[in-house]
Amino acid sequence: MCSIMGYTGTDIPLSRLETAFAATKSRGPDGSRVLSLSAGTLLFHRLAIMGPEPAGMQPFTAPDGSAVVCNGELYGFRELKRKLEAKGYRFVSGSDCELLLPLWRERGAEMFAELDAEFALVLYDAPADSFVAARDPIGIRPLYYGYSESGRILFASEPRSLLGLTDKIMPFPPGHYYQNGAFVRYRDMSRVEQVCEDDLETVCANIREKLILGVEKRLDADVPVGFLLSGGLDSSLVCAIAAKLLGKPIETYAVGMSADAIDLKYARQAADYIGSNHHEIYITEQDVLDTLDELIYTLGTYDITTIRASMGMYLVCKAIREQSDLRVLLTGEVSDELFGYKYTDFAPSPEAFQQEAEKRIQELHMYDVLRADRCISANSLEARVPFGDLELVRYVMSIDPAKKVNIYGKGKYLLRHAFEGDYLPPSILQREKAAFSDAVGHSLADGLKACAERVYGDGWQAAAERYSCHAKPFTKESLLYREIFEKHYPGQAEMVAGFWMPNRNWEGCDVSDPSARVLSNYGASGV
């Protein structure tokens, strides 16, 4: 990951911008640069992944005075680079992001819809004397914005870089660009242009092909690549595909509570099957409690399931950074939104399933994707998300929901069927989905709940009323997280839409806890 920041005015002192920007130095520990422009400022912290040589340092500039900072990966950039070179453009580094200014000159804002990329950028167009910002269609790379006292817009990779510079911090909407004072949607990944009529076997073959390609793209790096392996279906598939593509042992990491680690045995099974160099990280209840405040500040959220699910990921990434030379991690996020959670087994109709998938895709940047980004980037690593590949997402969203809804007696059937064969052992390929935080160990969530019980007495509801204006806490645990959040981000609760919960309007889903563990169909998922 890298960290970017841009201010479209000149009234905030540079020293103040630099101090605010320093809060995200962990995203880019390999160097920092500030570019002062006549109309504003661009700031950059670098994590050197592609073209790690000094010439790959941002901001990139053009002879006409234009400049850009980008936290992103442009997949297939080598072919695109050759096409631009044929038009006379010259490049000085191996960085994919160096292509952005030539692309802007060639295509303007149309380039955003054409990019096969995960990105967040701020660009200064010198001939137009104007700033442009944009974010990828899913929101895998973070971007936030706010307005200064003078009404000028600020952009930053994380909200903590905007604290004290703006009254209200908001997430930059995925699939949008900002230009001339307005946000413009250039792509909506939840929207289906035409329902796919492929038969079941064709659907599964296409899913297999597109996920393999999504993994292959994300193996391209100039630094060592590793893998988070929970032992669940999604991360195990990513690892298995990568092992086949590379033809050599990959580095896999799993995390679990020392008391009751559920995932670790499944991760070991998957690792043994694909022949990876596997590493197990154990954490304790005390580790969890000691990390809670730091984690919520890092995440910038009070959402219950995000915090629970982040704890293991954050601590395993910390261990990876301390124990290895890895700089890139592939993960299994975005699969649930496409193929279904445990609770989507209760969808009353295919249409309802599809509507839920649309909602989850639109909100991804506030929950699962946020979790992966912050946990990994806080430890100076880069996250890559094969299930977030734009072509895969487009295709799966277009599949007739009658084929996606669980009529097979097994959730995520299409994905499982697509990879039948020698990718994974049956125990992993057919493993029931487990809630991430619970599979790390039930003691993780149980310990956090117990902590909240110790903090608050019977009168906790009165304390919760202080936050009734938005996303009112509804349990002692949610109140604990909200109060820690408000300590770090006072008055910024609207950054998050609210609490991630199953669709409580569906029969079987009217629950008071976001964990799949409370659902009647959880069964042996967490065993």
Nearest-angstrom CA–CA distance, 500 and 515? 10
Among the residues of 76-178, which ranges form H helices? Answer: 77-86, 100-107, 111-114
Taking the CA atoms of residue 434, residue 436, residue 437 and residue 440 in that order, the dihedral angle to the nearest 10 degrees is 80
Two tokens, residue 67: 């400049």
Helix 200-217 and helix 390-398: axis angle, to 10°?
A: 160
Helix %, strand %, coil % of the chain (to 5): 45, 15, 40
> Which residues make Cβ contacts (< 8 Å) with residue 371, sequence separation at least 6?
299, 306, 309, 310, 313, 333
Strand ordering across the sheet containing 130-135 = 60-61, 67-74, 117-125, 130-135, 176-179, 182-185
Q: Tell me, what DSSP letter sits at residue 173?
A: P
Residue whose C-alpha is closest to residue 302's, from 444, 135, 164, 498: 498
Task: Please list the residues that pair with 460 across neighbouring strands.
Answer: none
Strand-strand pairing, 60-61 and 328-330: unpaired
Q: Are 482 and 467 a contacting pair, CB within 8 Å?
A: yes
Nearest-angstrom CA–CA distance, 472 and 387? 32
Q: Which amino acid is at 482?
A: R
Two tokens, residue 142: 């973070």
Nearest-angstrom CA–CA distance, 123 and 91? 18
Q: Which amino acid is at 469?
A: C
Two tokens, residue 448: 């956090």
Q: What's the distance, Cα to Cα, between the start and end of the chain in Å?
A: 34
Taking the CA atoms of residue 194, residue 195, residue 197 and residue 200 in that order, the dihedral angle to the nearest 10 degrees is 140
In the annotation, is 2 catalytic?
A: yes
Two tokens, residue 517: 């563990």
Residues labelled catalytic: 2
